[in-house]
Amino acid sequence: MSELARLPGWLWWLLAIGIMVLVGLIVVFAFWPRSSAPMIDSSEGLRIHPLYLGPSNAYLIETEQGLILVDAGLPGYSDAILRKLRQLGRDDLRLIYITHAHVDHYGSAAAIQRATGAPIAVHEADVENMETGATELGTVRDWEWLSRTLLPWVQPALKVEPTAPDVVLREGDRLDKYGLAATVVHTPGHTPGSTTLITDGGVAVVGDLISGAGGPHAQRSYADDWVELAESLQRVQQQAPDVVFAGHGRTSIYGAAFAALSPYLPGEVTPEP
């Protein structure tokens, strides 16, 4: 019999309650929205405001002509995004640009649209999933099979809102009419309709093409098509952006670090059931 087994019952209860409170605090801390100081790109006169919305990131790109929101976080984060707009003293959100149809990127888009009237944009190949409130994870690597297994249970709890886009994006589209000198680059692989927004001054917002969580790395968890994903990463690397913002991980990634990333190729992939 170990010493532990001789602990009195009330102490076990105290320990259990302590652990539950700790886990609760960690979850609240992880999901609490935060924003950080703007990353200023003086050559273009842009201000990029990262919004850390729990597990995923969104970005407000501010120009004199207006603002573009890139991605919108999980459902329930619209207040945090609207609060940031109020802090900036701006009411001219001109576009809600969704990098791909995963709920951690479009979840609050419909609510933001109701509050601001801004149109929602997504690539044509991801329209159907967003319109039906779906999230297709494709094939997964390593332990990510767990999130695919849990997703059907998590999704109803999140109350995912079917989100119909107003603007259907295609390769090479320009965003000038929304006040931003930038091009849409179709970067399929993570999802069929994943896109990267690249400004003329060399700022790229890449969604889940790469991740900054735990250090910059190519997408290694989920892909609709791993070969396409590798090709998409190489295409954006060839454009040599100066700074890259990803959908996860609270960091910006500078050109040299981005150029050095290697794609994950098929192999060790858990097939779809």
Q: Which residues bind Zn ion (CB under 5 A)?
A: 102, 104, 208, 247
Shortest Å, Cβ 110 to Zn ion? 18
Q: What is the smallest separation between the CB atom of 90 and Zn ion, expressed in angstroms?
A: 26
Residue 57 beta carbon to Zn ion: minimum distance, rounded to whole angstroms: 9
C-beta of 89: minimal distance to Zn ion in Å? 30
Which CB, 104 or 173, lies closer to Zn ion?
104
Nearer to Zn ion, 207 or 241 (CB): 207
Please say which residue, 104 or 126, places its beta carbon nearer to Zn ion. Answer: 104
CB of 36 to Zn ion, least distance (A): 18
Nearer to Zn ion, 68 or 72 (CB): 72
Task: Tell me the C-alpha distance between 197 and 113, whole Å.
Answer: 20
Neighbour tally for 118: CB within 10 Å: 21
CB of 65 to Zn ion, least distance (A): 28
CB of 126 or CB of 179, closer to Zn ion? 126
Residues 6 or more apart in contact with residue 176 via CB below 8 angstroms: 182
Nearer to Zn ion, 9 or 152 (CB): 152
